[in-house]
Amino acid sequence: MKINKTIKAIYLLIIGIAIGASLYAGAVVAPVTFHSEKWLGDELLSRFQEGLIMTQNFVGLGYIIVFTMITIFLYEGYKYKSFNRDLITTLASLGAIMSGALFKFFYMDTIINMQKQGESVVNSKIFENMHKGSEIALVLFMIFLITIFIRNVQKD
């Protein structure tokens, strides 16, 4: 059974929005937030305060990520159960769900909890490693989404 073209278009739109939001958060919002002195003049915000603001942006992105993961699970799961299988899309879907969940439910929660402990914890090597891990998880999420998007455009 073929999936309705409107449903497929909505699915691809959701994937595209998630890619765009992730890219925008990392490429535009983060550099602006972490260099507030360029926009405000004097250094009014500390790096810690900028990090708190940035975290709230990523909390919002987390909702988009979860919605996208659910959408991928339902859409690709339906295709899989309907024997409309593609190995690359299936693997990319699993990768997107795992990296999205890792970013949202492990890294984001850990980073928020560490921030609640104060500035000294945020300046630690452990926090730096957590932050780097979250960046890697988000980049992987985007790569998997791009793969899903391209494979779905190529098919049908």
Residue 38: pLDDT band (50, 70, 90) is confident
> Going by C-beta distance under 8 Å and a sequence separation of 6 or more, which residues neighbour residue 145?
15, 18, 19, 22, 68, 92, 96
Please answer whether residues 85 and 156 qualify as being in contact, where contact means their C-beta atoms are separated by less than 8 angstroms: no
For residue 86, give its domain range.
Answer: 5-154
Whole-angstrom distance, CA of residue 120 vs CA of residue 144: 35
121: left (phi over 0), alpha (psi -120 to 50) or beta: alpha
- Domains identified in the chain, total number: 1
pLDDT above 90: residue 46? no
Please answer whether residues 115 and 52 qualify as being in contact, where contact means their C-beta atoms are separated by less than 8 angstroms: yes
The candidate with the shortest Cα–Cα distance to 22, out of 74, 58, 56, 55, is 58
Give the model confidence (pLDDT) of 77-110 as tens digits. Answer: 999 998 988 999 999 999 999 999 999 999 999 9
Whole-angstrom distance, CA of residue 150 vs CA of residue 135: 23
Please answer whether residues 58 and 65 qualify as being in contact, where contact means their C-beta atoms are separated by less than 8 angstroms: no
**What's residue 36's pLDDT?**
81
**What's residue 2's pLDDT?**
67
What are the phi and psi torsion angles at 41 (to 5°)?
A: 90, -110
